[in-house]
Structure 1
Amino acid sequence: MTVTWAIPFLYFLLSGFLCIFIHNVYTNKLARRSAQARQAILKELGIPSTSNPKFIAFFHPYCNAGGGGERVLWTAVAATQRAHPNCVSLVYTGDTDATKQQIIAQVRARFSISLDPGSLHFAFLKKRHLVEDATWPRFTLLGQSLGSMILAWEALSQVIPDLYIDSMGYAFTFHVVAWLTKGSTQIGAYVHYPTISTDMLARVKARKAGHTNRGDVAGSVVLSRGKMWYYRLLMYHYSLALYRPSFIMANSSWTKNHVDAILSHSDPVMSALHSFTPLFFLRVFASAYSRLTEPNIDDQRSKKRRVRVYPPCDTHEMAKFSLNARERVILSIAQFRPEKDHPAQLRAFAQLLADQPTYASGSSPVKLILLGGARNAEDHARVQSLQDLAKELKITHHIEFIINASYPDMLSWLAKASIGLSTMVDEHFGINVVEFMAAGVIPVTHASGGPLHDIVVPLDGEATGFHAHDSQSFADAMHRVLSMGKSEEQAMRERARRWAVDAFAEERFIEGWEAAWKGYI
């Protein structure tokens, strides 16, 4: 019996050592290739190699998308260039259809942010389709997570940085960075939205349909239970990935609370499954090898920083807008992505016109403007479906779609709109909502996430905007704003602006950003 067990155990042990040997050979080769790549980049940028600058990398596959996450990225890059001129900012991106010069120009046009091309390098990734929703019609979160790991492998195969910061929410890439660099690269994260949260588990358990839980799944006991197990497995591994970074910046109280909950989340069933299945061996070797290559991993985890850093909002320019003579315009600013729930905006607006027919006619009818970025063919198809829905709701003549607007165009609409509309459920923060308030536009947002807990909150005991949860309550809130008396309306616009400028100015973000990763390179 002893011999029977000894043979497979010995085979397992030898296989493990062989894997470690192959890994060492490969990573050493990768390090040599990276050193050559770094020299080539420095030569291209005109930086003397003798200065030995640090490379700070930002993993952001959609850096040219033009959304709130991209404002965070480029504000961080610009701030890093100013504060650390001796460092090279390296952006891993899948925007292969644009050149470095075109991306820099787009950043200036969209965000009015100037970047120094002399210390900025782009590493273009060809496998971005692996993190696209369309690539994984089933088991999307798992597929995208695995796809992001392959994408990170492609990124580090080009050049290995001294500091790696995921600024888009691909936590599973942390394992790849740790394995390929053997702990030589520091890891950080700016979390906009947890990949999976306890709220998502709760919705599946309650069989509640929504963006992350299709109606056919919610309506089936069997499918709901299967998805619950799937989510629990993802949550378990997501929490392991979040243990990797030395520092984590969360963009709101809502996000930080969820990150804290995920890191403290205990699932004894999943732990047992990983202890008594073949996954046990993977877990043992991963843990053992981490300690061989990263001997101070426990010290790093004990010193881990988790802080709230609100995203940068360009409040100064918007705060110059007049609060008077606002037009009867309801403005939505959001990328045309499914989670933004633009259909809810159309239905709420249709409900408003149904409740208040005078808003559809007269000398100054109410108009809904949907302004947002479309990243790809799927987003453009989503816009077409929204236009079809508008026809179905018979509100086409009262709405306008503005796709991929320039920064000046966006400012122009903010300067004249009366209401800012946001319907996303559990919006992690909501830069668009802050922009509404700074511009003097009264926000009407979903009663959840950052807009509820961080942004549209009372100032000196007085409201700075409104929250809603369905078409009727959104319609009622918008009517409340449109029917306000001038003095009440003016006072609310002033309160909203004062709070936005004080709490969410770009300077606050830069201070928090620098403090979070100071000392890690």
Structure 2
Amino acid sequence: MALSLWANLACAALVALSLTAIGILHWIRNYGRKLRVMNALRREELRTMLGRSNERTSIVGFFHPYCNAGGGGERVLWTAIASIQRAHPDVLSVVYSGDIDTTKGQILEKVKSRFNISLDDSRLHFVFLETRHLVEDSSWPRFTLLGQSLGSMWLSWEAMTKLIPDLYIDTMGYAFTFPVVTLLGGIPVGAYVHYPTISTDMLARVKSRIQWHTNANNISSSSILSQGKLLYYRVLMYYYALCLRTASFLMVNSTWTKNHIDSILRHSDLLLDIVHSVPPFLLIKLFSSNNAPKSARCVYPPCDTQEISSFVLTNRERVVLSIAQFRPEKDHAAQLHAFKGLLETNPQYNANGTDPVQLVMVGGSRNAEDAKRVVALRRLAQDLGIEQCVKFIVNASYPVVLDWLSRASVGLSTMQDEHFGINVVEFMAAGVIPVVHASAGPLLDIVVPFDGQLTGYHARTPSEFATELHTALSLPPDKEIAIRQRARTWAVQRFSEQEFEKGWNSSGWSTYLQK
């Protein structure tokens, strides 16, 4: 009797939840229809503002909250828009940006200064978003990935309330925005993915209790906390896969990223599959599984190889150059430790040695958290006693970056699982010998043999980096020039802006404007 009562209660609760979910979904769809009705006026206002009120134009919206950051992801964004402006004069580009403290003119000026890309401002518009702080890691000290994912959903809601385009393309990796845009905007969604939000590697590290910048020591040292985090990651991975399946097309930047995204598209979890086989969770799964791409298309990001490939290969300065935004995953601390090891084992490279070498760290600082990291890195250089040999250049202009690329001897990149590594391609095209982490893009796609011979060096630990830095710095002149030339030839041949545009234009994104 008691079991029958509990069964009836459970059934009633399930029905209530299902009806509630259906009601919420119905309300969201009605709300979306109202937004789309109001959007017609906003679109006409946009055309009038851009001086194109009498033209038949389509609108492509790029979701890139940090469009003014000046990194490799931003080069992809601006090169894609420049390509669209050349090939599709009837298309207007809209960038959803959280850079509310800047203007359109200031952003375009920085694009020109940093990337040497000129854009037609009459075919480009910015929709500024007020709630970007919701995707800042500092806003979510706990459950950061979940918080940022939910924050991105809110941010995309704000974007859709201000303007709904004909096609939505995420170029920063916010897949959790896809269901929001699809429901509210009723438009196709695509993405250029630089790095998966969560990957099987992350699950494996938590499961094996390996300390990492995404798996703190207090978690990895506790069996109970590790099991809890593993469940949290499993749920997040499951919903991430569902969100990716709402896309009409997916482009990725490297072999490593493609392998991960393709794996995530096929991802299943028996426990969560069972949970999502009953209402109301079944509604979520059914909605998120329509029109799913079978796999992602690899389109290598654009690199400015044309100008830098003209730099002279001889008489380079004794400079080890790092070019990377001051983000935690770039692991600048490892660079300082590696350089410390280099100076300890090779005293001639010290400031007062017979062959002094300088480490120059060029990078963008996006926000207060990045600025704090720069302060901490300066302090670390002092603690290691190498501050006289280390130079920090923060938020450098494009000409300054080019100047260092034309002068440096060796390029250093220590990020593990760097999805691609535009900075590494720039090293090679400029004739700077790369010493990179033996993983992901730099290992699989970039610093690979050309004509059966080396184009650079790989390492994993600071001591290995120190060894390979010495190898690169002590090459005989003839071998040094040969490796610089091979690296340049490969980079220019494989990773030019022209190659990116071919891949971008053949991805089929424009066909979704006609639907």
TM-score (norm 1): 0.94
- Deviation, 1:90, is 0.5
**Are 2:251 and 1:249 aligned?**
yes
Correspondent of 1:164 among 165, 168, 172: 168
- Deviation, 1:137, is 0.5
Residue matched to 1:406: 397
Any unmatched runs of 5+ in structure 2?
A: none
CA contact (8 A) 2:265 2:295 kept: no
Residue matched to 1:72: 76
Residue matched to 1:385: 376
- Deviation, 1:283, is 2.2
CA contact (8 A) 2:17 2:280 kept: no
The one-letter code sitting in structure 2 at the alignment partner of 1:211 is H
Secondary structure class of the residue paired with 2:366: coil
The one-letter code sitting in structure 2 at the alignment partner of 1:261 is S
**Are 2:60 and 1:44 aligned?**
no
Bigger drift between 219-228 and 164-173 goes to: 219-228
Correspondent of 1:24 among 19, 24, 29: 29
For residues 454-486 of structure 1, give each alpha carbon's deviation from its aligned partner in whole angstroms, at most 9, with x where no partner exists: 000001110000000111110000000111100
Residue matched to 2:493: 502
- Deviation, 1:434, is 0.1
Correspondent of 1:490 among 459, 462, 481: 481
Alignment of 1:413-452 (within 5 A): 413-452=404-443
Correspondent of 1:264 among 263, 266, 285: 266
Quick one: structure 1 residues 369 and 19, their matched pair in 2 at CA, closer, same or farther if it must change by over 3 Å? same
Residue matched to 1:366: 357
Residue matched to 1:87: 91
In 1, Cα distance between equivalents of 2:237 and 2:488? 38
In 1, Cα distance between equivalents of 2:386 and 2:337? 10
- Deviation, 1:130, is 0.3
Quick one: structure 1 residues 25 and 264, their matched pair in 2 at CA, closer, same or farther if it must change by over 3 Å? closer
Residue matched to 1:284: 282
What is the alpha-carbon root mean square deviation over aligned residues?
Answer: 1.8
CA contact (8 A) 2:67 2:74 kept: yes
Quick one: structure 1 residues 395 and 9, their matched pair in 2 at CA, closer, same or farther if it must change by over 3 Å? closer
Alignment of 1:278-357 (within 5 A): 280-286=278-284, 290=287, 298=290, 300-301=291-292, 306-357=296-347
Alignment of 1:447-462 (within 5 A): 447-462=438-453
The one-letter code sitting in structure 1 at the alignment partner of 2:512 is Y
Residue matched to 1:185: 187
- Deviation, 1:227, is 1.0
Correspondent of 2:63 among 44, 59, 63: 59
- Deviation, 1:518, is 3.7
In 2, Cα distance between equivalents of 1:336 and 1:9? 48
CA contact (8 A) 1:246 1:305 kept: no
- Deviation, 1:448, is 0.5
CA contact (8 A) 1:247 1:304 kept: no
Secondary structure class of the residue paired with 1:211: coil
In 1, Cα distance between equivalents of 2:250 and 2:298? 9
Identity over aligned pairs, percent: 55
Any unmatched runs of 5+ in structure 1?
A: 292-296
CA contact (8 A) 1:37 1:159 kept: yes
- Deviation, 1:178, is 1.1
- Deviation, 1:393, is 0.1
In 1, Cα distance between equivalents of 2:416 and 2:17? 48
For residues 71-127 of structure 1, give each alpha carbon's deviation from its aligned partner in whole angstroms, at most 9, with x where no partner exists: 000000111111111111000000000000100001000000001100100000000
Residue matched to 1:294: none
For residues 337-381 of structure 1, give each alpha carbon's deviation from its aligned partner in whole angstroms, at most 9, with x where no partner exists: 000000000000000000001110235410000000001111111
The one-letter code sitting in structure 1 at the alignment partner of 2:112 is R
- Deviation, 1:18, is 3.6
Quick one: structure 1 residues 9 and 326, their matched pair in 2 at CA, closer, same or farther if it must change by over 3 Å? closer
Quick one: structure 1 residues 8 and 59, their matched pair in 2 at CA, closer, same or farther if it must change by over 3 Å? same
How many residues of Structure 1 are paired with residues of Structure 2 in the alignment? 506
TM-score (norm 2): 0.95
Bigger drift between 265-274 and 352-361 goes to: 265-274
Secondary structure class of the residue paired with 2:279: helix
Correspondent of 1:111 among 115, 121, 132: 115
For residues 207-238 of structure 1, give each alpha carbon's deviation from its aligned partner in whole angstroms, at most 9, with x where no partner exists: 11111111221111111111111111111111
